Amino acid sequence: RAKASGRACHEVFDTEMHTRVVNLLQLENDLRRAVEHQEFLLYYQPIVALATGKMMGFEALVRWQHPEQGIVSPVKFVPMAEETGLIIPLGQWVLREACRQMKAWHTAFPDQPPLSISVNLSSRQFSQPSLIKQIRQILDDTELEAHHLKLEITESAIMENPESAMDMMLQLKAMGIQLSADDFGTGYSSLGYLYRFPMDLLKIDRSFISRVDVDGEKLELVKTIITLSWNLGMDVVAEGVETTKQLAQLKALKCEYAQGYLFSKPVCSADAEKLIRADHPFKDISRALLPTSRL
């Protein structure tokens, strides 16, 4: 009997495995076609300066416009794109499109302080020596000033090959590009790598921010991260701010910037443009805190 049920288990497992493999192959195929046909688009999420409530810039977040499935989240395909190397052409497209769009907004709204554009780099891209040349070409072609471009890099991308990462980062910095430490706090060697690498901006991961209003320990941790960033000469962005209470805590800690659904979800370029056009779109959110909020 044991043997029989053992085999039954095995069969279920095989079927599941089979389905998974077929799905993965299908995804890989679809993704290849999508890269060829450029089925991608960028969404933009505002990053807000907490002192003024004004937008500092946007983070560009890729979406897949799938012919049958509609808009697909990057969580569903970026890992596969990384595994297959498709992230190289996809990432190139993202960089070019993000820079092109931001330059177009600078040109269209010359009276507004120029916004910055943040672009995520995967480890595969980041370990490609030709990245520097590609970015230089993109900045040349789009005429976006380098200091309006911020590249978001995670700890794991840096730690995969610290020496070449350092070399790459120094070259990017020399070009005037700013570097952000993305998802800070989720890695292993977080503190060490901050000291070693020349980063301008630290983005505190959403997992810390999401409980900052109810969990005293998290609040202490965020406070410590902010102080540390300042000591290292970095500004701080809080990721995933969803409530006014979280916002109030972050303002009290003098955190410089925030990003999250409280202000806006990532939106398509037309809606992002509406936010630029609306002078001070987050006035009410920032103001709501002022008179009565208690910490």
Binding site for ligand C2E (CB under 6 A): 45, 61-62, 73-75, 78, 87, 91, 94, 120, 122, 152, 182-183, 206, 240-242, 259-261, 266
123 makes contact with Mg ion (CB under 5 A) = no
Q: Which is nearer to ligand C2E, 182 or 235 (CB)?
A: 182
HEC secondary structure over 41-60: EEEEEEEEECCCCCEEEEEE
Q: How far is CA 225 from the centre of its chain?
A: 19
Give the up-direction half-sphere exposure of residue 225: CA atoms within 13 A in the CB hemisphere.
Answer: 27
Rounded CA gap, 274 and 159, in Å?
39
* From 27-35, 38-46, 113-121, 188-196, span contacting Mg ion (CB under 5 A): 113-121
3-state secondary structure of 66: strand
Residue 46 interface partner, choices Mg ion, ligand C2E, none, CB cut-off 5-8 Å depending on type: none
> What does the block give as tokens for 164?
């070449």
Place of tokens 């370990």: 127
Nearest approach in angstroms of CB 154 to Mg ion is 8
Which tokens is 130 given?
């030709």
How crowded is residue 142: how many other Cβ atoms within 10 Å of its Cβ? 19
Helix (H, G, I), strand (E, B) or coil at 64: strand
Residue count, binding to Mg ion (CB under 5 A): 5
182 is a contact residue toward Mg ion (CB under 5 A): yes
The region of 50-58, 175-183, 216-224, 256-264 touching Mg ion under the rule CB under 5 A is 175-183
Residue 155 binds to Mg ion (criterion: CB under 5 A)? no
Window 228-287: residues binding Mg ion (CB under 5 A): 239
Give the one residue of 30, 97, 152, 155 binding Mg ion; rule: CB under 5 A: 152
For residue 153, the surrounding DSSP H or E stretch is strand 149-154
The interface mask with Mg ion, positions 1-40, x = CB under 5 A, is: ----------------------------------------
Q: In angstroms, what is the minimal distance from the CB of 183 to Mg ion?
A: 4
Give, for 148, the enclosing helix (H) or strand (E).
Answer: none
Q: Which residues are near Mg ion by CB under 5 A?
A: 120, 152, 182-183, 239
